[in-house]
Amino acid sequence: MSINWFKYSAPTTFYPLAGKMVPWFAWLAGLCTLFGLYWGFFETPSILSDQKQYYRIIFIHVPAAWMSMWLYVVMVCWALAGLIFNTRLSYMMASALAPTGAIMTFLALVTGAIWGKTSWGTWWDWDPRMTSELILLFMYVGYMALQSAIDDPRRADRASALLAVVGLVCVPVIFWSVNCPDPNQCAALHQRSSMANVEKNILTAMFTMTFAFWMYCFAIVLMRARNIILARESNTTWVAEMIEAEK
């Protein structure tokens, strides 16, 4: 049996497939959010005193932060696939991922600021993680700005893909540099966080929420990809036929 690996790399075949997948991911995201939030609010022990209930923001904050970083990697993978195989759909996926990634980064920053205000007493501290997240936001914005500034879609795709790849090469260096601005004392500055110390129910809620966010990203990115496909292919026959059939 031979498998046609590239069957769904054509927008024509991908469009209906994405349409079928969206509701599944959306439902999964909704259910997991409900479950995760319920677990986070009612099943986690009140080990912390009443004043510290605000820690529950981590059920939004941590998944958003994880997604913001993960989506950048996924975006670069699509961009690379586009540059290597020269498939239009890869570029479309990459550009569909960028806004969601930026929103997740923004969400992580805002929830982080709220959490910081309640626990450290300040909205913003130049903590390495915050700075990294902020820089990540700049990278997403740069990607989207470059893409929207170029009128020719082919050049826009390829230029922003190259930018995303260059960005990914620079990201570890940037994060490392904000992590230890003084190379002589780097080890002392390094922060450690360990999953092992986190209470089990909190972990359950956090991972469920992460899964929910992940599914939400799938759903929303596929929806946006469908829109991009329609916009770019608006003058092809298959789109015209589809619109005709829906009338």
Residues of the shown chain interacting with other proteins in the complex, contacts defined by CB under 8 A: 135, 138-139, 141-142, 145-146, 149-150, 154-155, 158-159, 162-163, 166-167, 169-170, 173-174, 176-178, 181-185
Please say which residue, 37 or 144, places its beta carbon nearer to other proteins.
Answer: 144
Output helix, strand, coil percentages for the chain, rounded to the nearest 5. Answer: 85, 0, 15
Residue (158 or 232) nearer to other proteins, CB: 158
User: What is the signed CA dihedral for 40, 45, 51, 52, rounded to 10 degrees?
Assistant: -60
Task: Quote the least distance from Cβ 177 to other proteins, whole Å.
Answer: 4
Is residue 165 a contact partner of residue 244, using CB atoms and an 8 Å limit? Answer: no
Q: Which is nearer to other proteins, 55 or 175 (by Cβ)?
A: 175
- Angle between helix 88-119 and 153-179 (nearest 10): 30
The least distance separating other proteins from the CB of residue 169, rounded to whole angstroms, comes to 7
Q: How far is the CB of 7 from other proteins (least distance, A)?
A: 28
Per-residue DSSP letter, 43: I
Nearest CB to other proteins, comparing residues 30 and 128: 128
Calpha distance 43→218 (Å, rounded)? 28
One-letter amino acid at 173 equals V
Minimum distance from CB of 156 to other proteins (Å)?
Answer: 10
